[in-house]
Amino acid sequence: MDCRKPGPRRFPFPNGSALRKGGKMLSAIFRWFSTPALQSPEEHRLALRRFERNRQRIAWLSVLGVVDSGYLFLYQTGRLKHLWCPGFGKACERIAGSPRAYQGRVPDSLLGAAGYATLLALALAGGRERYRSRPALPLLMGGSTLAAFGLSVLLTYAQKAEFDDFCVWCLASAALSTLTVPLAMPEFLAALNAGAASTAAPGRDLLFPGFLN
């Protein structure tokens, strides 16, 4: 595989102002998607339907993420000679073939595929009321979407800072990660609320009742 290496550039880490803006954005996401206590049977039924629908959408987005990462993996392992890169010319090959796109000998696309596969499993696991019966699942799913979103922001910034260009497949992955956040937050926050309201068991059982039993 002919990997075109870009000239060395110093990676400018985001300054304090950028980090503060990111923190405010995450805080706004939490406030916007905060789920109030489910008091009436009708509210509970509608919330469960919403959670289930959102999980299905996260599952489909995760499948698309695996496909996206798989395409890049084929190029990074030499099974494809070229990447289709609409709108960005050879930037996809330049970025995906650079040393920055590998963790040691492991291409970052493989790590991305593993992340999406994990998110898919978390979206499909558990029953309709898992936010109460198995809150670890929505908590892990929500935490994973937030982590993936933060990493996508950092990697998109790095593409601009180091290459002054973008990989369309990396941008697509970042968009998929971003879309999963608002879908995961309602159930994530409902699980937090359910754990905070529970007084049945102290310690770790407050957030993980029955999870280790």
pLDDT for 194 equals 81
Considering only CA atoms, give the Rg of the chain: 20
Q: Domains in the chain and their CATH numbers?
A: 43-197 (1.20.1440.130)
Q: Report percent pLDDT > 90 for the chain.
A: 65
pLDDT for 211 equals 36
140: its two tokens: 């892990």
**Buried-state track 59-88, b at ≥16 Cβ within 10 A, e below 16:** bebbeebbebbebbbebbeeeeeebebeeb
pLDDT for 12 equals 54
Mean pLDDT of 60-69: 98
Q: Report percent pLDDT > 70 for the chain.
A: 73
Average pLDDT, the chain: 83
Cα–Cα distance between 145 and 66 in angstroms, integer? 15
Q: Is the dihedral of CA 197, 203, 208, 213 positive or negative?
A: negative
For residue range 47-56, what is the model confidence (pLDDT) as tens digits? 899 999 999 9
For residue range 170-191, what is the model confidence (pLDDT) as tens digits? 999 999 999 999 999 999 999 9
Q: For the whole prediction, is pTM greater than 0.85?
A: no
Mean pLDDT of 110-127: 97
Closest C-alpha among 209, 189, 145, 208 to residue 37: 189
Banded pLDDT at 40 (limits 50, 70, 90): confident
| Residues 66, 113 contacting (CB under 8 angstroms) | yes
Average the pLDDT over each of 41-45, 143-147, 151-155, 195-199 and give the range with the smallest value.
195-199
Closest C-alpha among 29, 25, 3 to residue 14: 25
Q: Which residue has the higher pLDDT, 212 or 62?
A: 62
